[in-house]
Each structure stands twice: as structure tokens, then as C-alpha cells.
Structure 1
Amino acid sequence: MRLVIRLFFRLLRRLLMPFMLIYAALSKPKPISRDEKAQAQVNDDCRNLTLYQFATCPFCIKVKKEVHRLALPIGMANVQKDADARQALEQGGGRVKVPCLKIEHEDGRTEWMYESKEINSYLQQRFAP
């Protein structure tokens, strides 16, 4: 039974994939603009962030839209296509679930944030003008 459910969702994901990709491309919000100095600071702050995701996940699309709106150059790791990224997510975060934002703090601590709503809230609080 478990196998049947897994195959059903895999098939459903494959059928919906083109529509999800089109939706993601067409629904991108307009990015905010910052002056050069502020954007340079944001770019520097984002070098310690990595978003683990895959292209057709609706929750990942939600987070990527917010990343685009806030004009954040966050590194993206596709856990469906990159086995190393998948392994890093599982080892570091404890489970393979997307979206997941990896935050490397300056004190050497690493935080793994899993919920899209929580990720978007964090990004808005930290980077919204």
C-alpha cells in the first residue's frame, strides 16, 4: 500500500511539473531595489545562506518568490538532482525535507530552518527595507 501511495504521488508530481514551473516563472514578484552600498551588504550577508529545495515543490516556490522579491543572492541546492546536497541536508539538518534554509552564523553555529512560512518570516525580518 505504501508503495502504491508513493508511486501515485510521484506520478502526480511528474504530471504537474510543467505547470508548476510555468507558474513559478510567471508569478515572480518585482524585486525591491536598494542602493549599491545596501545591496553589497545584503550580498555579503547572504553568502552564509543556502536554500535546499527542488524546482516543483510548491513550498519551495513560495520561498524562492520571496527570495526574488527581496533581491537576495542566496545559494540554491537542488536535493533532487544533487546527491551531495541531499546528503548534506540529511546529515546537517537530520532529515530530507524541503524547503530548508541553512544559516551559518558568524559564531560557527549552523541552523537548519525547515518551514516555508518560518523561512519567509526570517528573510523578511532580516532583509526587508
Structure 2
Amino acid sequence: MDFPEELKYTEEHEWVLVEDDIATVGITDFAQDQLGDVVFVELPEVGDSVEAGETFGVVESVKAVSDVYAPVSGEVVEINEDLPDEPETLNNSPYDAGWMVKIKLSDPSAIDELMDVATYQEFVEKD
């Protein structure tokens, strides 16, 4: 399983990459592996406000329907427009082509609340 070191992680299995005040968000390799083949993705609209810990999207697989939670608060400034037509991208490339949304952070320090790679790896090993 792949866990890039430069990312931050949540207990709900989302990853976050912060560049300046923009957080790119997706689901982890662990999450997509647990879900199985992803067949549907629902994303928010550009301009929507999201709150940390609140649902911002849905991922449906052959096994389950799962909510996706915002790891940070802010405004959605971009969505991955390819995902609704190519949901399997979440399985094939969860950290690259499978990113879901970009959020302009309302509080950049909130990133410090998220797990680093070592903490996340310990977390999933307990799961």
C-alpha cells in the first residue's frame, strides 16, 4: 500500500496536499482498496463552502456507498471534472489523477490537526 510522505491524512481515509493556501483532497490507497471497484463519484460544486469533518461528496463502489469528508474548512475552488465519467481513476491513481477537490483554506493552521504518514500508517494497521 502506498502512503506518500508529503501528504497529511484523516481518520476517514482522506489525504491532503497543501500548496500555499490550497488543499488538494482525495481518498487514500487504503480507502480505495477497502471500497473495491469504484463505479460512481459525486462531488460538490465549485464555490461551495465545506466544513472540516462534514460530508462533501460520495464514492460508490461495488461493495458500498461511502461519504467523503472534508479534512479542512474552506471554499471549493476546483473539482476533478474527470471523476464522474471515470470513477475508476480513484482505484488506479488515488494520489495523482484521482484527486477529488481543491479547497481554499479558511484556516491554514488546521492542517496541523491532521495525521502525518507515520501516524496514519499506524492507524490503518490497527483497523
Same fold (TM over 0.5): no
Task: Give 1 or 2: higher helix fraction.
Answer: 1
TM-score, normalised by the number of residues in structure 1: 0.23
TM-score, normalised by the number of residues in structure 2: 0.23
